[in-house]
A and B are shown apart, each in its own frame.
Chain A
Amino acid sequence: MSTPQAQSPAAQELRVRQAEASDLGQVIAIDAEVTGLEKTDYWYELFHRYGGGRTRQRLFLVAEYGDAIQGFIIGEIRDWEFGSAPCGWVYGLSVRNSARLAGVGARMLDAICDGFRHAGVHKVRTLLGRDNSLVLSFFRSQGMMAAPFIPLEKDLD
């Protein structure tokens, strides 16, 4: 798997674009760097469903600086879940450790929000573990507030 050396991205030279199949090696590496798990099959399946700009409803974007992918963001538009009007959902965002604190996440979030607006929705949501303070703080810093939903779960015996 190729892993080009990351450099600190200058905001003006960072490009956010749709993910391509050739980006997957770096996306998988960034995800593995952050989560400690290399989920190759998962990412190829996800790219099949979300990549390549096949639909305005699903977005898989990467942030590129030079020849290195610095981060990725994934989201989709969900319609009328439990009566909620169509809105954008961000359910994946990660930035290479060496590229953090350079505005990469903010640029990707702006880009995916532009995509959602272009598709006609005016609200974006996400869902995170409440112990994930780092990413929660990022979304808070971008102006996101608590949504009118409560996540629920139960153990299945």
Chain B
Amino acid sequence: MKLQKSTSLALFSILEFAANPGRQLSAAEIAEKYGASTHHLAKVLRELGRAGLVESARGVGGGYRFSGNARRLTLMDVIELFEDISTRTGESDEFDDSSEVGRALGAVMTEVDEIAKATFRSITVDTMLKLIERQRRALADAGNPPAT
């Protein structure tokens, strides 16, 4: 399962905002960090704003901040704002089901997709922040400086 660029940017943004709940971040800061265009990211942030997950502040030092519930919001909740993967099946995406081989390969891809969807549904933003922190500590323990 491959996510669209907008979806990936939305996930990056939500996790950046949720990790810094008291700080406003500009679209330009996030765009630069993740190698995206500010224009593209602004569109993503507008969609997140419409969903009530981020709110913007105007004026000097204005930017965006997280306004969702990190313990309830799952990765799937964010993904579904940008693409409908809940009904996606391997059969329709990858293989022509007009042949026996295509149908069998499609069944395998469906298995893969179902596991991916269950994973996205089970992981909240709060859980992701804990995972990021564990990885940061593990890197530090191994003597590697954390990536920003």
Contact = CB atoms under 8 A, between A and B. Distances in A.
Given A130-B114, A130-B115, A143-B134, A136 B121 contact: yes
Interface of B: 71, 74, 114-115, 118-119, 121-124, 126-127, 130-131, 134
A13 interface: no
Interface of A: 130-131, 133, 136-137, 140-141, 143, 146
B114 A143 contact: no
Given A136-B118, A136-B121, 12 more contacts: A133-B118, A133-B121, A133-B122, A136-B122, A137-B74, A137-B122, A137-B123, A140-B123, A140-B127, A141-B71, A141-B130, A146-B119
A140 B124 contact: yes
Which secondary structure dominates chain B's binding surface? helix
A39 B22 CA distance: 49
Which secondary structure dominates chain A's binding surface? helix
A136 B117 CA distance: 12
Contacts of A146: 119
A130 B130 contact: no
Contacts of B118: 130-131, 133, 136
A93 to B, nearest CB: 15
10 contacts: A130-B114, A130-B118, A136-B122, A137-B121, A137-B122, A137-B123, A140-B122, A140-B123, A143-B130, A143-B131
